[in-house]
Structures are given as C-alpha cells and as structure tokens.
Structure 1
Amino acid sequence: MSTQTALRLTGRNSWEQLAAFQEPRPTAGKHEVLIKMRSAALNFRDIAISTSKYPFKVKDQVVPGSDAAGDIVSVGEGVTGFSAGDKVVVSFDQVTQYGPIKNWENGLGGPVDGVLREYISVPAQTVVKIPSHSTLSYAQWASVVCTGVTAWNSLYGVSAIKPGQTVLFQGTGGVSITGLILAKAAGAKTIITSSSDEKLRHVKEKYGVDFTINYKTTPDWAAEAQKITNGQGVDYILENGGSGTIKQSLDAIAFGGVISVIGFLAQASQDEMPDVSTLALSKAAIVRGIIIGSKQQLEEAVRFIGEKNLELPVEKTFKFTRDQVVEAYAYLTSGQHVGKVCIDF
C-alpha cells in the first residue's frame, strides 16, 4: 500500500504539537478527484486552531490547513470535466456551491481534515481549474482559496466595486494586500492603514497603494480618510480590527458604503462598545460579516485573477516538513509578513 506524510495536531496548546505521520495514500472515490499537493497557504485561523482559540468545532488530531493548490492525479467514477494533470485549487468549504456558507461544519483543516498532507481526495464539485495560461506559482494560487475569496466577497459580494470608488484596507496582511490588488485592477482608489511606516512604504513601492495612513501617528484615521476623499467618505472598508475599530470605520464610510467585517484583531471592552446600529443607520451603511465565500466566488476570483494575471502577494514560503511548518506558523504569528505565508510541497 502506498503511503504519504501527513501532519496532525496531537494537542491544541501550541503549533509545536504538530507531528508527522505515515498514513495510507487516499484514492479518488466516486465523484472525487485525487490531488497531489503543491502548495498550501496559511491563515490566522490555523494559528487559532492550534492554540484552542478557534471558536468553532475542530476534529481531534486534525490535519490542519485549508488552502490547497495542486495537480489532479486521478479522477473517480462519474467525474467529468477534470483529468489527470489538471492544475487546481480546492474550495475552503466542502459543501457550499453558492450563497453564504451556512455553518462551520465543512471547512477544511478544522471540523474535517485539511491539506497539510501530500495527497488529498475531495469531491470534484469543490475543485476549480487554474487557468492554463497562468504564470502564477502554486503558492500564489493557494492564497486565493481563503484570502482571495474573502477579499473578492468583500468587493463583489453585495455590490460590484466600480472604477473611481475608494477602498480602505486595515493592516498589511494577506486579505488587505490581496484586496488592494483586486481593487486597483478594478480601477478603484486605495487607502491602507498600518502602525508601521516601513510596511506602508513597502506597500506603496511594491503594490502602488494610492494613500497610506499610520494609525499610531494619526489615531483619528477616519478623519484622514474623509480628508483624502474630500469629505465623501470611503465606499468600501475591509474591517480587520473588529469592535475596537468599527466606530472609526463607520466614521470613515461613505453614505451607502459597505463595511466588510473580516477580523477581530482589535477588541473593545464591553463598556467601550460603539453604538453600531445608530452609526450604521446614520450613514445608510451596510455592515456585513464575511465567512470567506462559496465555490462560485472562488471561480469568479480565479477567473478575474487569471485573466489579469495579477501578482498575488506571497511573501515567504517554507517546505513541507514538520519543522519547517512549525517555523512557518511562528513566522505568521510574529506579524513580520506583508502578504501570505505558504508551504511548498
């Protein structure tokens, strides 16, 4: 019997509890495809799962990782449209084809085994082909699965971003930088915030962001965003802070604008919580929570990125060994990165 290496979390106190196991290589069942992994992108969800901070169901001794890019090795009975050799990415949620994700029961790397293993078998309906003409790396395509779809959902989920509109991104992580690239490709003006002048310079030079705001030296960044937009406000905001930054997002948003709540990196105490309902009403703003996105949105993002050959932001890659993956987790947690951290197989 053929075997493969798989990484599993033997405990959930630290990513140091990742361990390598030799396990039977899966096969493609009926309506499934077998994929040889080429790259996996890490997310802060992976950190939360490994440290018991993830608030949803996690399988015991789970294989972590949710973002897969690789090559189809074989197809199961009844599968059409795919063949061995196809380059593909795999949807985060193994059930949701369209519309919002309905629950947290089917996401790879949490309630079900994920992608930090050499081969995975998944339902063919969850797989999207990488455009054959693409020059992007497997790591760049892997980063589309959660990060790219989250950014796509934020900019196209309820209304499509239009040329000349303005988008504000909080921080310089993968979602923000990917969203910045998508927004600029759509002809939008872009603003990004960070506490680091060095990171802001880097994003300006490498990704061409139009405006930068250091929220440490300019704590009222909403007022600065209003100034940048001549008092019109920002049309879209990718809200990574959560309760600690939502008031400023509502102050910065344009009338009728869209705030996509993605993260909770800056929490406010209960007695300091802003009156979100009144602030949203006063601007006729849409405040929506984002749970990544459907397979349909993955298809849309892949098509858009492929057609424009957008250079997605992979900052650093590590090798698929237990020690290198542990190092990658630590690097992601350190906050040094601008863009994505990936594992190459």
Structure 2
Amino acid sequence: MPRGLVAYRSTYQYPPEYKSTCQPAATFELDWIMTPTRTRQYRYPELGSHQNLVLEEVGLKPPKGNEVLVKTRAVSLQFRDLSIGNGHYPARCLPDLVPCSDMAGEVIAVGEDVKKWRIGDRVCANFFLDKLNDVQTPETDESALGGTTQGVLTEYRTFPAHSLVTIPQHLSYEEAATLPCAALTAYNALLCGYTPLKAGDTVLIQGTGGVSIFALQFAVASGATVIAISSSDEKLKVATALGAAHVINYCATPDWDREAVRLTGGVGVDRVIEVAGNATLARSIASVKLGGSIDIIGLVGGPNDSGPVDIVLPAVMRSLKFRGLYVGSVPQFHDMNKLISANPKTTRPIIDRVFPFEQAKEAFAYLASQAHVGKVVVRVF
C-alpha cells in the first residue's frame, strides 16, 4: 500500500441515473478505498504577517460517523484572511491557525451515518460550519472556518456533513471556491435583508473586490440598476462590462455621494453595499434615499479621519435602515446557488489570478496589493 494511504471501508451509492443489469443494488461496499492518512497544510506558528505561514505535513484522521472527508481542489482568499494573518482581526482566532475559509473540493470518503453525500460529489463548505438557519449565536460564530475553527488551506479536511453544499454544475473548482464568503455575503446583503432587492431598484456598490463584484452581478441578475465606484478607471471598465449602468471614479469625483444622488434624479439610491466602513459611511448615508438601506459588510477603508459618524439622526429623521451582516447560512448558500445556476453568464465568478498551492504566500501578497479585480485563488490539486 502506498505511503500515506489507508484502506477505508465506505458505502457508495450509485447516482440515480446509473442503470446496470449486473448490479441491481442501490449501494455496495467498497473495501479498498484508498484514503490519505497525511495532509499538507499551511499554519501560522504566530500571527503578524502572511510571511509567517509555514507549509507542513501532519496526520489526518478518517471521518467520524457524521463527517465527510474532502480533497481540497481550490481555496479563495479574503480580506479577512489578510487581517487575521496581520493580527488585526477584531475577533478571537485559534493558536497555530490553519487559515482561510473558502474552499471547493471532492468527497473522497464518508462516515457511516452520512446519507446525503457520495464519493465523487463536488462540494463547498459553508463559512460557518454550524449555521443551519438564519439565527446567529455564539455557537455558530465559533464554527467560523479559518478563525475560531481551523481553516481550509490544506490538501484534505473533514467536515460535518451538514456544512456542505453542492457546487453548481457549470462552475470549476476554482470558481466554486469563491462562493462561501464573498458571494454568500453579497447574496445575503441584497436578497435576505429587511427588503430583498427587486427589479428597478438602484444599488450603489463600493469597489471591485470579491464581495463587490458578486454584489454587482447579483444585482444585475435581479434586474436592478448598479452604480459602481472605484479609484481605478481600468477597474471601472470591468464593472461596466459586468453590467454597471453608471461608474464613478471617487478620486476624480470625491463627492461621489452627490453624483449618485444626481444620477438618480435627486432621489438617492435605494441601497448601498458598504464595504469600506467608517471611512465612507457618512457619504453612503448622504447617497441613499429616504427610507433606503445601507448594508454594512466590511471595514476595508480603515478608520474615518474626520471622526465618528453619527448614524442616529439620519436613521431617525430619514427613516434609514442599517444592517450589519456576517456572511450567511447553509440554506442561504443553497438558495444562492439556485440563482447562480439560473443565471450562469451574469453571475459567473470573476477570478483575477490563480496561484499554485506552493505559492500561497505570493497569493496573499497579491491580494494585499489590491491590484486584483474579483477573486484571488489558490489551486491545491
């Protein structure tokens, strides 16, 4: 038997479309499934920089009764991953952390109690392993991959069966790896809030990073009008190609909030996808219409040099709705994949660059440069 592999007894269920006169049973036992006993993974001996990542080989246990062993095919990177690596993330993280939350892979073994998944299934894991509904609790927060739970920048990993979702058929592993955080956050913001987005609404989207690009795509697929802002004319060309009706370079037009109001005939936008946080929140408030919504999903802009932003007065006097959100649930992931499958061209993930597994540090550095449009991905296998 090859080094690092073990014979593992597993139950395999034929796909529904499979027909055979010589195999009438729906399932059979595979006595010699070769599953790995070792995995290569990246780990932080200490936080402070992504340069602290070390690549190591460690032991790998077989899946428990309710677990699924997945071969990681691709991992996508988030701003959160940079923040955690730099030691600036505003939440507790595990020591000796294996980073990253977003993966796509192939099922290679299932526990004896698992009924839903079969060997060969293509899956993603939800960002929160245990968020099975839309209620956020301390327990669901503790199941966040790449933070309070060990992450996915590894060749193989076991997951609870309930945390997995099926990858849309038309997507590659690299494309699917971009869905669990960036795409689901954008979907939750637009379609699961106080008032779900509808055709004819106007949405202002900040930037052209992962969440922002998905928000643009989902808004266009929903029939909304998108105003996109960025500091780069080249990036705004991409936004226009993806369906943005209006684009604003906020370096050339610092008062982008006034321009957004002008573009809406003096009314203001229906909602803002706020990714920069305090640095832009005042202008987001100024750009939104009476009774409009601001979905706060990030703080990539850093602190506001002008001081704290007052949201109480505009919230009351202008009837604004502020919603903070933290990725999403497994059911939302399933629903989002239906939207993606129904709109394959409009919603196809935009990948800027793919790095091999051995160059994960370079992938982190490229993400930190902010030169990308869309997502940065690490191909594992």
Q: Which amino acid in the other structure matches residue 36 of structure 1?
A: K
Residues 1:49 and 2:74 aligned together: no
Q: Which amino acid in the other structure matches residue 221 of structure 2?
A: A
Partner of 2:171: 136
Q: Is contact 2:100–2:145 with CA below 8 Å preserved after alignment?
A: yes
Partner of 1:202: 238
Equivalent position SS for 1:201: helix
Residues 1:121 and 2:158 aligned together: yes
Deviation readout 1:221-279 (Å, 9 max, x if unpaired): 11111111112211121101211211111111122222111111234458622321111
Equivalent position SS for 1:45: helix
Question: In 2, distance between residues paired with 1:267 and 1:23?
Answer: 37
Question: In 1, distance between residues paired with 2:116 and 2:365?
Answer: 39
Q: Which moved more, 1:306-315 or 1:56-65?
A: 306-315
Q: CA RMSD in A?
A: 1.4
Partner of 1:69: 104
Residues 1:315 and 2:347 aligned together: no
1:172 to 208, 222, 237: 208
Partner of 1:161: 197
Question: In 2, distance between residues paired with 1:100 and 1:265?
Answer: 25
Residues 1:193 and 2:229 aligned together: yes
Q: Which amino acid in the other structure matches residue 294 of structure 2?
A: I
TM-score, normalised by the number of residues in structure 2: 0.86
- Structure 1 runs (4+) deviating above 3 angstroms are 267-271
Structural mapping, 1:240-279, within 5 Å: 240-269=275-304, 272-279=307-314
Equivalent position SS for 1:117: coil
Question: In 2, distance between residues paired with 1:176 and 1:42?
Answer: 14
Equivalent position SS for 2:41: strand
Q: Which moved more, 1:331-340 or 1:72-81?
A: 72-81
Partner of 2:262: 227
Residues 1:336 and 2:368 aligned together: no
Q: Is contact 1:40–1:69 with CA below 8 Å preserved after alignment?
A: yes
Deviation readout 1:8-64 (Å, 9 max, x if unpaired): 112212111111111123321111111110111100111111111111111111111
Question: In 2, distance between residues paired with 1:335 and 1:313?
Answer: 15
Q: Which amino acid in the other structure matches residue 288 of structure 2?
A: I
Q: Which amino acid in the other structure matches residue 111 of structure 1?
A: T
Instruction: Give aligned pairs, total.
Output: 340
Partner of 2:58: 23
Question: In 1, distance between residues paired with 2:305 and 2:329?
Answer: 33
Q: Identity over the aligned pairs, expressed in percent?
A: 36
Deviation readout 1:86-132 (Å, 9 max, x if unpaired): 1111001111111143233211111111101111101000001123x
Partner of 1:109: 146
Q: Is contact 2:355–2:377 with CA below 8 Å preserved after alignment?
A: yes
Deviation readout 1:286-321 (Å, 9 max, x if unpaired): 111111111111111112112222311111111111
Q: Which moved more, 1:302-311 or 1:140-149?
A: 302-311
Q: Which amino acid in the other structure matches residue 202 of structure 2?
A: T
Residues 1:280 and 2:280 aligned together: no
Quickly say closer, same or farther: Cα 1:298–1:167, change in 2 above 3 A: same
* Greater RCO (Cα-Cα under 8 Å, separation 6 or more): 1
Q: Rg: which structure is higher?
A: 2
- Unaligned stretches of 5+ in structure 1? none
